[in-house]
Chain A
Amino acid sequence: MKMLATFNVNGRDRDTVIAPHMTLADVLRDQLRLTGTKRACTGGNCGACTVLMDGVPVCSCIQLAVNARDRKIETVEGLAKPGGDLSALQEAFARNNAAQCGFCTSGMLMTAEALLRSNPRPTREEVKVAISGNICRCTGYVKIVDAIMEATAAAQEAAE
């Protein structure tokens, strides 16, 4: 049974046809062609598919799409500033080489984005706890934590 559904993604309403078994990750990637969100375990274990749902980071691979219809969805494609300049967090990731293969990066960014919105001045330990559900196989995490710390309000103010 298929149905027409509307998703609010990165501030825009998008219509698409979904089936009840589809996950939010499937709809974002396969229907809406927002392929920045990655499927890496499809079991909610690795965080690569993390998107924000009403501002809360969730694993989109274990969210049924039907439940996401009335929510505000944010993906990595919506992180950059209007006009396309990178956000401070994205800049920090690029500057610190916090993205190696890049497959976990979208999920890391979205998890960090949620953290910085709710806690703009986290400690290093709080950053680690926040991303402890996101697996990265390349970086050894050090540069990811470095990058997030550089994007905190404190670091941004210090840089100004």
Chain B
Amino acid sequence: MKTVRLSPADTDDLLYVGRDLQKPDVKKKVTGQAVYTEDIDMPGLAEGRLLHCPHPFARVKRIDTSKAEALPGVLAVLTAKDAPEARFSRSTMAEALPSFAFDGERQDQRILTDLCRYRGDCVAAVAAEDIYVAEQALDLIEVEYELLQPVFDPFEAMKPGAVAVHDDVKNNIAFEMDHPFNMGDTGKAFDEADVVVEFSGVNSRQKHLHMETDSAIAHFDETGRLTVISPSQGPHLGKKHLSERVFPDLNDGDIRWISPAIGGGFGARLALGLEPVAVLLARHTGRPIRVTSTREEDFNGYSSRTDQHQTVRLAAKSDGTVIGIEQHIVSDAGAYLSHSATTSLVNMQKSLGLFRCENVYGHVKVVYTNTPVTAGFRGYGNAEGAFVLQQAIDMLAERLGMDPIEIRAKNIRKEGEQSFFIPCKLEHSRLQECIDEGAKAFDWANKFRGWDRQKDEGRFKRGVGMSILNHASGAGGFLLEHSSAIMKVQADGSANLVISPCEMGQGILGALAQVAAELSGVPYDKIRIVTGDTDVTLFDIGSHASRSMFVVGNAVADCARKINAIIRERAVPHFEKRQIKVTPDQLVAKGGEIYPEGQPDKAIPIGEVAHDEIYNFSDAGAQITASGSYLSTSHHPNHQAAFAEVEVDTETGHVSVLRYLAAHDIGRAINPLLVESQMQGAAVQGLGFALKEDFVLDQKTGEVLNDTLLTYLAPTVMDVPELETLMIEDPFEKGPLGAKGVGEAGVVNPAAAVANAIYDAIGVRLHSVPMTPEKVLAMLQSGGAENPAGSSCVSGQRL
């Protein structure tokens, strides 16, 4: 790890921020004490299991549950007739989006169905005293299906006369929308351009592969109030959605949603998973019910990255100035519309918004097929877009004989210009510095040998490539970006910090506690976090969009500053007792102590003040407490530049990444260790996306062919190249102590940078990720003419 401080901010003054402190939950995790949903026990808890349709498209003609119901230990066997008629989407995002940004929400699925649109659809749910009985009961359910003709390919599905996955949707187009920020006249720009390039590509359905499979507990208490426990990334939106869409007889306040330790999220938990069916079973049995999916169920059901077929066209002047950009996307929703529409829209935001350009056109279609439901995945469309856009910009550079760095530097947005989220200005960007510092550390100037160079001799050929990105630190103006925090100081000077984000491994609780400690005066190790319970925490849309550090961080900062002010105000009489006359403004509260500015030797403990506010009979006032809030109105982009060096084995097609370097525009790293952890983890996940992770659907049967961790190739430690991370620090005045987001960005560049490096090595461009050996070989053997998996989303043609 290397930190590049652009404006050497005064960090000596900071006790906690900028330091590699251990996050509060790490000891629980290294001792096995962290409690995940599947670890919870409670009186009367019973287990649920689901029966999935084994066909890609079928109607249930007859279902007989009598034998299952008769099995001792079975509490309930439910089918479509027992499920609410209400339709819902797994995505909870519609609750948090304005209509200008997204007008196409479809509530299109039921908890249990008798019309099965993919192999993961549930036809029955069983509750039983234990999991073994529940499993046995599944085998005793008799179902007779009427098989329907399925459609698996989105381009086939759009053709007139194609099978309708949903009767009410014409040509299976579930959602269609122009980019909200289309502008100018791209037709004219392309006519006037000196150079035009076009590139098409598609990404695989990378699985989130959170190590904890999906799980949910539902329990109605004696008053009829519902508690849901599940690894949700956004429990507040979850309860709104669950009450509004799935169980309309419940109100928002009738649900308490607890999100315990989460075994990885990556965007998958930003949707309803097993919660609805757990609630249904709990309601029918009057018992607390847990439903947990197997790994195979996770593979075959919900959810994965959305496969987005894209075509990008760029128009440029001979000096490399981009004057027009078009992006057409056809995304595969699978059987139901979840995050596939919004993730495609966000792809356009980021892809069409990266470069300063006045003529912009984007269009997206999202298509139903009889395949598993796709979703949003870390980066939320950005990695999918970068793979195509960043190859297109390199093609432009080659046509013009420009260095990849030079053409990007010429076209990126600068501070003061509009940001990719067009209504808002770009207030802070160190993308150019990421490019410059990254290039220097990578030795790009020597590694990139020009477009005309001879390729390496022999079987193994090396090449380098780069890619850049802009991402959001929360989506202010697009999502409900407000958050609130509460702090209360205990009699010993420790404090509780009540915050909403869900800890799914990113370390956000630690970073927020560091902000709270720095600004409140309560020491870091005395801050106890309360989170993950909607009865306690204040509204917040959850942990996603790299928003928690920025948006929640600002709410925590607001709250902690108030606590600091109250502590100083209440400390005045304590100094008076010691014959020291001060005003609150002359006091410093820091690191557990309060002292007159410049006189740390006169310090008294915060605990003394806090204690007396509660327990001193004569002077007691009120416990020191405050709440703070923040509303973000802009996306405040963070940025990253990445550089990859690869070696291609031209006999096997295998691509080895020798070195990968990423430089991130962080604002300020509240905890550099956590920032680096996010960058490393995201890079490896992105390299998995780039080279290995394929989700293979049998095109004849719709069956997932690799639904185990043995056959789905997630990166292991042996796949990790030499990784370097640079943090480009220059505090952003609107961030909490200068911070911007980091969680998602790192996953965006790897596929794009590796694709460009492969081109540099062997002179052919790959049109689809993962860039597996067979695709590389096919491209090499056909001289770049044939790619077995990419398709143009303009013509639908295989490339």
Contact = CB atoms under 8 A, between A and B. Distances in A.
Interface in B680-720: 680-685, 708-710, 714-718, 720
Nearest first, the 7 closest Cβ-Cβ pairs linking A and B are A36-B32, A101-B505, A102-B29, A103-B263, A140-B684, A100-B505, A76-B32
Given A33-B41, A100-B505, A102-B263, A137 B714 contact: yes
Contact of A41 (B33, B261, B685, B709): B709
Contacts of A45: 708-710
Interface in A118-160: 128-129, 131-145
A41 B677 contact: no
Contacts of A37: 32
Interface string B114-137: 000000000000000000100000
A33 B720 CA distance: 35
Nearest to A110: B32
A22 B584 CA distance: 65
Interface SS of chain B: helix, strand, loop or mixed? loop
A103 B264 contact: yes
Given A86-B27, A128-B717, A132-B716, A102 B709 contact: no
Interface string A21-40: 10000000100011111111
B132 A21 contact: yes
Contact of B709 (A93, A105, A135): A135
Interface in A85-106: 86, 90, 93-97, 99-106
User: Which of A42, A77, A97, A134 lies at the interface centre, i.e. has the most chain B CB atoms within 10 A of its CB?
Assistant: A97
Interface in B192-220: 208-213
A148 to B, nearest CB: 10
B28 interface: yes
A94 B684 CA distance: 21
A128 B507 CA distance: 24
A116 interface: no
B720 A141 contact: yes
15 contacts: A34-B32, A35-B35, A35-B39, A39-B38, A40-B213, A40-B709, A75-B32, A77-B31, A101-B212, A101-B263, A101-B265, A102-B30, A140-B682, A140-B720, A141-B720
Given A36-B32, A103-B264, A140-B683, 7 more contacts: A40-B213, A41-B709, A106-B32, A137-B211, A138-B677, A142-B720, A144-B717
Given A37-B32, A142-B723, A99 B26 contact: yes
Contacts of A131: 717
Q: Interface size for chain B: under 10, 10 to 19, 20 to 34, or 35 or more residues?
A: 35 or more
A140 B35 contact: no
B761 interface: no
A16 to B, nearest CB: 14
Contacts of B643: none
A124 B36 CA distance: 31
Interface of B: 20, 22-23, 25-36, 38-39, 41, 132, 208-213, 261-266, 294-295, 504-507, 673-674, 677, 680-685, 708-710, 714-718, 720, 723
User: Which of A19, A37, A46, A133 lies at the interface centre, i.e. has the most chain B CB atoms within 10 A of its CB?
Assistant: A46
A73 interface: no
Contact of B211 (A46, A75, A132): A46
A57 B684 CA distance: 26
Interface SS of chain A: helix, strand, loop or mixed? loop
A66 to B, nearest CB: 15
A9 interface: no
A137 B210 contact: yes
Nearest to A87: B30
B680 A142 contact: yes
Nearest to B718: A132
A53 interface: no
Contacts of B261: 101-102
Nearest to B23: A97
A101 B504 contact: yes
Nearest to B1: A142
Given A43-B709, A100-B681, A102-B28, A137 B718 contact: no
A34 B32 CA distance: 8
A80 B32 CA distance: 10
Contacts of B262: 101
Contacts of A75: 32
B677 A97 contact: yes
A101 B264 contact: yes
A41 B213 CA distance: 8
Contacts of B673: 96-97
A100 B709 contact: no
A105 B31 CA distance: 9
A109 interface: yes
A46 B32 contact: no
B31 A79 contact: yes
Contacts of A36: 31-33
